[in-house]
Amino acid sequence: MKSIFITGASGFIGLNLVEVFLGEGWRVVALSLDGIPPYAAAQLATAPGELIDVRGDVRDKALLERVLAGQRFDAVVAGAAITAGATREQAVPAEIFEVNVVAVMRLLELAARHQVPRMLCFSSSAAMGELPFAGRAVLEDDAPRPLTLYGITKASLEHSARRWNSFGSAPRLMVARLTAAIGPWERATGVRDTLSPPLAIVRAALEGRAIAPLPEGGVRDYAYAPEAARQLFWMLTAERPQHTLYQISPGYVWHASAMFEALRACGLTVRVEPGGEAIAFNDDLTRIRSPLSAQRITAEFRAPPDAHEAALAYARWALANRAWFAQ
């Protein structure tokens, strides 16, 4: 049985990635501060793979050493991160760098020592600063222009991966530059300061609360998390990926209002009324955002689903997993 070690495994993308690897029959050693949520663990228990749930801090070098020394791993994912807003940046800047950069490099050191062949870490559209508002799709070859501490940490991983891979030593370090994701397993974990508008829409609709009309602005290149996890699986297992960095994005922008139609198509009553719950977009809605290009991942793997498919898949999952939203 092939094995993978995933840090930040109880987070949004982490859970989707755990689900994919378990579904493929892998042994997944999942490290997180709080453990795999019980509801998710019950769902994942039906998969053909084996889940080993480990609780601990990704900054604990001794813990990482024990995990990696315990068995032979085929891949490692450095998924733990603090997605910080301005308030957290001012309060704990050192902690942001310790988790987002230092812990990743420490894990890289240990993966090299234990001869893990491939490792993946995450960058973000935040590494590109204002470039998504420049009127064209952002390319993998565009240089990072971060404005926030979070973006700076992610840009540093991109540069670090290129340097590391120039040595030709194992592990090969892959970087996924991830856009805003939506879909199954999103929740408040305490390390993401902003959650997605589609999640707020789904939660309000499931609870029967009216939603205020959405603003016209606010389109994003929302990536459907299960498809993003599939793309990450490809990055970690493809025999000869041509690049170090791949953007995980649908390659187009769409509006969160698509969730209204998707939820209604699944038979749920969605009330949109003045005075209803206002959905926070956490963005400057006066500007038009361009997507991260998906050309590279599409050319080597497959094209992402369209917005209708993504919204409908999320709506179906939400209705089948109402208990997840009631936690």
Residue 296 falls inside a structural domain = no
Specify whether 205 is located in the same domain as 111. no
Give the pair of three-digit tokens for residue 149. 């501490």
Show the domain range for 191: 182-221+252-290+305-325
Specify whether 102 is located in the same domain as 202. no
Residue 168 falls inside a structural domain = yes
pLDDT, tens digit, 9 for 90 and up, residues 117-162: 999 999 999 999 999 999 999 999 999 999 999 999 999 999 999 9
Q: What is the pLDDT of residue 190?
A: 62
Specify whether 164 is located in the same domain as 21. yes
Q: Which of 186-190, 241-245, 282-286 has the highest mean pLDDT?
A: 241-245
The predicted model gives 272-294 an average pLDDT of 93
Task: Identify the band that residue 65 occupies on the pLDDT scale cut at 50, 70 and 90.
Answer: very high
* Single-letter amino acid code for the residue at 311: A
Specify whether 36 is located in the same domain as 167. yes
Specify whether 196 is located in the same domain as 282. yes
Please give the tally of structural domains in the chain.
Answer: 2
Q: What is the pLDDT of residue 193?
A: 55
Specify whether 176 is located in the same domain as 194. no
Specify whether 197 is located in the same domain as 262. yes
Q: What is the pLDDT of residue 191?
A: 54
Residue 125 falls inside a structural domain = yes
Distance CA 178, CA 11 (A): 14
Specify whether 195 is located in the same domain as 172. no
Task: Identify the band that residue 283 occupies on the pLDDT scale cut at 50, 70 and 90.
Answer: confident
Residue 300 falls inside a structural domain = no
Task: Identify the band that residue 175 occupies on the pLDDT scale cut at 50, 70 and 90.
Answer: very high
Specify whether 73 is located in the same domain as 172. yes
Would you tell me how many other CB atoms lie within 10 Å of the CB of residue 290? Answer: 17
The predicted model gives 33-49 an average pLDDT of 97
User: Does position 182 have pLDDT exceeding 60, yes or no?
Assistant: yes
DSSP-assigned letter for residue 301: T
Task: Identify the band that residue 295 occupies on the pLDDT scale cut at 50, 70 and 90.
Answer: very high
Residue 298 falls inside a structural domain = no
CATH classification of the domain holding 151: 3.40.50.720
Q: What is the residue-wise DSSP string for 267-311?
A: T----B-TTSBPPP--S-TTSPPPPBP-HHHHHHT-PPPPHHHHH
Contact 149, 84 (CB under 8 A): yes
User: Does position 1 have pLDDT exceeding 60, yes or no?
Assistant: yes
Residue 297 falls inside a structural domain = no
The predicted model gives 222-234 an average pLDDT of 98
Q: What is the pLDDT of residue 325?
A: 93
Task: Identify the band that residue 212 occupies on the pLDDT scale cut at 50, 70 and 90.
Answer: very high
State pTM to two decimals. Answer: 0.96
Contact 84, 41 (CB under 8 A): no
pLDDT, tens digit, 9 for 90 and up, residues 85-117: 889 999 999 999 999 999 999 999 999 999 999
Specify whether 72 is located in the same domain as 105. yes
Residue 295 falls inside a structural domain = no
Specify whether 312 is located in the same domain as 276. yes
User: Does position 192 have pLDDT exceeding 70, yes or no?
Assistant: no
Residue 148 falls inside a structural domain = yes
Specify whether 146 is located in the same domain as 131. yes
